[in-house]
Every structure is written in structure tokens, then in C-alpha cells.
Amino acid sequence: MVKALSGAARENALASLSGWEQVEGRDAIRKIFQFRDFNAAFGFMSRVALLAEKMDHHPEWFNVYNKVDVTLSTHDADGLSERDIKMAKAMDAWA
Ligand SMILES: C[C@H](O)[C@H](O)[C@H]1CNC2=NC(N)=NC(=O)C2=N1
């Protein structure tokens, strides 16, 4: 069972990310990615989808044309976990 990050570990993990904001009223992080066009946005989503399946960890996201609005949290832990941090970093690397 994956555990939610707390205390210093949580602070350090969040500090290692850039462009992600904490969602109000919920232990989750959010970032809006913008791409050249739909093709680039969907390519990004396809790549992330493969990682999500591999990790058994899935983003909440909303796509309109070239924008992908992503929220990450770990439902099983009812909060942010290492899995969200790992996924956020992969997304940042591929955007
Ligand atoms: C049963 C299965 O392991 C779970 O429901 C997985 C699937 N994907 C998931 N994705 C996310 N974001 N959080 C989870 O807790 C989670 N759990």
C-alpha cells in the first residue's frame, strides 16, 4: 500500500518540481501543459498513458486542443505520494 508523503519528505518532493501548484482543498498538484497543436498534446498524453499503465498510476486530466490540464494525486493514499512526484517529473521531461 502506497503512503501519502508528509512533513519534510513532502516539502522536499514539492520543492523538486517546477510549475506545479497545490490544489486548494485537496492534497493534489496541478499543472496546465501547452503544446504546439493537438498532435503534440496527444503525443504527450500517449506517452504518459504508457507510463501510467506501467506504474498502475493514472493522472486526472482534461484536454482541449493543445492544452492538457493535469491533476495528480494518489487515490489509494488519499494524498500525494512518490508516484505523483515521479509522474510529474516524467511529464515535465516529455512536455
Ligand atoms: C486498483 C488499482 O491498483 C488502483 O485503483 C490504482 C490505479 N490507478 C491509480 N491512480 C492514481 N492516481 N491513484 C491511485 O491510487 C491509483 N490506484
Out of 5, 27, 58, 85, give the residue to mutate to test ligand 1, the one with the largest number of ligand atoms within 8 Å of its CB. 58
33, part of any domain: yes
Classify residue 21: in a domain, yes or no: yes
- The pLDDT assigned to 1 comes to 83
CB atoms within 10 A of CB 73: 21
Calpha distance 19→46 (Å, rounded)? 21
How many domains, in total, are found in the chain? 1
Q: Does some domain include residue 1?
A: no
Domain carrying residue 38:
7-93
Atom number, ligand 1, closest to the C-alpha of residue 77: 15
- Which secondary-structure segment (H or E) carries 67? strand 67-72
Contacts of 40 (CB under 8 A, 6+ apart): 66
pTM of the model: 0.96
pLDDT at 62: 98
Model ipTM value: 0.94
Q: Which residue shows C-alpha cell 500517449?
A: 46
Residue-level pLDDT, tens digit, the chain, 95 residues: 899 999 999 999 999 999 999 999 999 999 999 999 999 999 999 999 999 999 999 999 999 999 999 999 999 999 999 999 999 999 999 99
Place of cell 482541449: 64
Please report whether residue 11 resides in a domain: yes
Residue 2 falls inside a structural domain: no
Contact 64, 90 (CB under 8 A): no
